[in-house]
């Protein structure tokens, strides 16, 4: 039962076991009350055990569970001890205790992950052991693109649970793109009235009869967002919102045509984009656009307490700016070298704007082009190069190279693979991903905050398909982000696969539609 994923730093097992029964109590002090509530709720569901409240630690007793803070430990570090006194989880902060509680859930076996107990009369045993554990990185992320395909709120909450079960703690929420605007902005209602729907979308596997055209859309109200952020916080996950500028903005331009380069094209003729790829219709670099997006970000800041706010910055073709008299005048007026300078000015504006409000800007690695804004951090997606350059210049970096951790890319060769995007990134490839490139000195490497896996959803129209692409690779990613693994060549992928056998049973209990390790594949 100690086939844990992600692997903890150390496990020392002894003979014997704690048996949780209907008499077992759960004790949490004030600081760990939230974790206690979460643990009691999920374990009641899966095991049927009432886990009544203990009034003090001793009250939890030899067959109970205690949660408490040990200030000697780091904020996300925990120690789980199971012995004759019962089960004690101690963390440096509530987050550490929460990760320890996730470990306990895995130790109880796969059925503990169910929504209702299979039977009432079984015993729930945890072997005597001591686990000491702490994450390697503070940023262990998952990016979900809800713009290309909208994921209804329930699905997002489910992903937050799945992230928590894998000890991931940053949810990068890609809320806007050419194909859809997914967050209600009160002062600009057309963003969702117009921008959240497209008349036509291609969906399904290209080679299957599911390939059809139909309308698509949806968005989160501000209360939905508050609920998502609060649900994430209960799971010690930070939600980092992304509003993508100045490219990937056709949905916004379709809603408010004055945001586009009106002296180059008739932006009133644009609708929310119904194709995939890099879109030429980008924001106009005008004061009007800046004021409009300051309004958007004001509402975004009210909803998301995260330190970082993502402004995209990726794939912004400069052709319209080259042809626009307004953009060219801006370049001259600001004394910029070229259109790259204009993009850098645009991002720099929001860097200063966010910094003045106590936040930090993060953007895709294109924000390096034309000069990186002072306090900005970088999501390095086109390989490691952007991240290396940024870290050397003293900027923080999240490593998410598409060559390793793009989960929209296919996971095996062969025509039967249901998602046709990209290159082959196998489970083993993800397991051998190293977020810190060896080129960095230890000093520079400190700027690597961590890593994230990215789920772009052009060809994932529902949660089954998202599950298929995400799993099992997200489990390998979680281990890379959490566990102190050796260099890629020395990683024990056979040992990982062995533990995955147990982990598939947990994913089954959770109802995750992962890619099965041996066929048949779904949708054939």
Is 177 tagged catalytic? yes
Smallest gap from Cβ 127 to ligand TNX, in A, equals 43
State the sign of the Cα–Cα–Cα–Cα dihedral 178, 179, 182, 184.
positive
Number of Cβ atoms within 10 Å of the Cβ of 44: 15
Is 248 tagged catalytic? yes
Q: Give Cα 330 distance to the centre of its chain.
A: 36
Smallest gap from Cβ 383 to ligand TNX, in A, equals 11
Task: Report the residue number, 421 or 445, with the smaller CB distance to ligand TNX.
Answer: 421
Q: How far is Cα 344 from Cα 349, in angstroms, rounded to an integer?
A: 8
Residues 6 or more apart whose CB falls under 8 angstroms from that of 125 comprise: 1, 17, 18, 19, 20
Task: Report the residue number, 257 or 422, with the smaller CB distance to ligand TNX.
Answer: 422
Is 213 tagged catalytic? no
- Which of 315, 340, 369, 417 is flagged as catalytic? 315
Residue with tokens 């569970």: 65
x-marked contacts with ligand TNX along 301-320 as a string, rule CB under 6 A: -------------xx-----
Number of Cβ atoms within 10 Å of the Cβ of 488: 14
Smallest gap from Cβ 3 to ligand TNX, in A, equals 32
Smallest gap from Cβ 18 to ligand TNX, in A, equals 46
273 is an interface residue for ligand TNX by CB under 6 A: no
Site for ligand TNX, residues 426 to 485, rule: CB under 6 A: 456, 458
Residue with tokens 């010690």: 236
Smallest gap from Cβ 248 to ligand TNX, in A, equals 6
SS3 state at 18 = strand
381 is an interface residue for ligand TNX by CB under 6 A: yes
Site for ligand TNX, residues 172 to 191, rule: CB under 6 A: none
Task: Report the residue number, 179 or 267, with the smaller CB distance to ligand TNX.
Answer: 179
- Which of 174, 248, 395, 463 is flagged as catalytic? 248
Query: Strands across the sheet with 52-53, in order?
Result: 10-20, 124-133, 78-83, 86-91, 65-69, 25-28, 52-53
Smallest gap from Cβ 150 to ligand TNX, in A, equals 15
Which residue in the set 133, 339, 408, 429 belongs to the binding site for ligand TNX (CB under 6 A)? 408
Give residue 226's region: left, alpha or beta (phi > 0; psi -120 to 50).
alpha
Residue with tokens 């990613």: 477
Give residue 204's region: left, alpha or beta (phi > 0; psi -120 to 50).
left
- Which of 177, 396, 429, 458 is flagged as catalytic? 177
Site for ligand TNX, residues 500 to 519, rule: CB under 6 A: none
Q: How far is Cα 473 from Cα 495, in angstroms, rounded to an integer?
A: 15
x-marked contacts with ligand TNX along 229-258 as a string, rule CB under 6 A: ------------------------------
384 is an interface residue for ligand TNX by CB under 6 A: no
Which residue in the set 159, 406, 431, 482 belongs to the binding site for ligand TNX (CB under 6 A)? 406
8 Å CB contact between 83 and 60: no
Catalogue the active-site residues. 177, 248, 315
Which residues in this chain contact ligand TNX in the complex, by CB under 6 A? 314-315, 364, 381, 406, 408, 421-422, 456, 458
């Amino acid at each position: 039962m100690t086939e844990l994923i992600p692997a903890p730093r150390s496990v020392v097992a002894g003979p014997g076991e704690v048996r949780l029964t209907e008499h077992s109590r759960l004790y949490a002090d004030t600081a760990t009350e939230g974790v206690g509530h979460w643990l009691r709720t999920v374990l009641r569901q899966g095991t049927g055990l009432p886990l009544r409240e203990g009034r003090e630690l001793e009250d939890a007793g030899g067959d109970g569970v205690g949660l408490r803070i040990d200030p000697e430990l780091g904020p996300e570090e925990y120690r789980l001890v199971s012995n004759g006194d019962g089960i004690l989880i101690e963390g440096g902060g509530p987050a550490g205790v929460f990760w320890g509680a996730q470990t306990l859930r895995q130790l109880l076996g796969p059925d503990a992950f169910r929504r209702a107990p299979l039977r009432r009369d079984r015993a729930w045993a945890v072997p005597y052991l001591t686990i000491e554990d702490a994450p390697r990185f503070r940023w262990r992320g998952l990016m979900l693109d809800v713009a290309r395909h909208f994921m209804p709120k329930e699905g997002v909450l489910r992903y937050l649970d799945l992230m928590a079960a894998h000890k991931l703690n940053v949810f990068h929420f890609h809320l806007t793109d050419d194909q859809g605007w997914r967050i209600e902005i009160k002062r600009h209602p057309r963003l969702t009235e117009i921008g959240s729907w497209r008349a036509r979308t291609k969906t399904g596997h290209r080679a299957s009869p599911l390939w059809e055209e139909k309308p698509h859309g949806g968005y989160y109200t501000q209360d939905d967002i508050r609920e998502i952020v609060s649900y994430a916080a209960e799971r010690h996950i930070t939600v980092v919102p992304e509003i993508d500028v100045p490219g990937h903005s056709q949905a916004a331009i379709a809603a408010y045509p004055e945001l586009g380069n009106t002296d180059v094209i008739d932006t009133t003729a644009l609708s929310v984009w119904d194709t995939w790829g890099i879109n030429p219709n980008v924001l106009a670099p005008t004061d009007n656009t800046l004021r409009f997006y300051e309004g958007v970000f004001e509402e975004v800041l009210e909803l998301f307490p995260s330190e970082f706010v993502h402004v995209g910055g990726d794939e912004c073709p400069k052709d319209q700016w080259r042809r626009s008299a307004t953009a060219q005048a801006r370049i001259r007026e600001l004394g910029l070298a070229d259109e790259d300078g204009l993009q850098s000015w645009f991002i720099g504006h929001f860097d200063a704007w966010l910094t003045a409000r106590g936040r930090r800007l993060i953007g895709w690695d294109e924000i390096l082009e034309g000069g990186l804004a002072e306090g900005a951090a970088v999501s390095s997606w086109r390989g490691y190069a952007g991240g290396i350059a940024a870290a050397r210049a003293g900027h923080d970096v999240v490593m998410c190279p598409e060559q390793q951790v793009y989960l929209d890319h296919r996971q095996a060769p062969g025509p039967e693979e249901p998602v046709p995007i990209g290159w082959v990134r196998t489970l083993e490839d993800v397991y051998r991903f190293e977020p810190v490139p060896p080129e960095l000195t230890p000093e520079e490497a400190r700027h690597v905050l961590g890593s994230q896996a990215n789920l772009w959803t052009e060809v994932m129209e529902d949660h089954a398909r998202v599950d298929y692409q995400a799993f099992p690779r997200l489990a390998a990613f979680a281990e890379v982000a959490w566990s102190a693994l050796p260099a890629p060549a020395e990683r024990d992928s056979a040992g990982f696969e062995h533990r995955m056998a147990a982990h598939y049973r947990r994913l089954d209990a959770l109802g995750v539609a992962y890619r099965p390790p041996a066929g048949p594949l779904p949708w054939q």
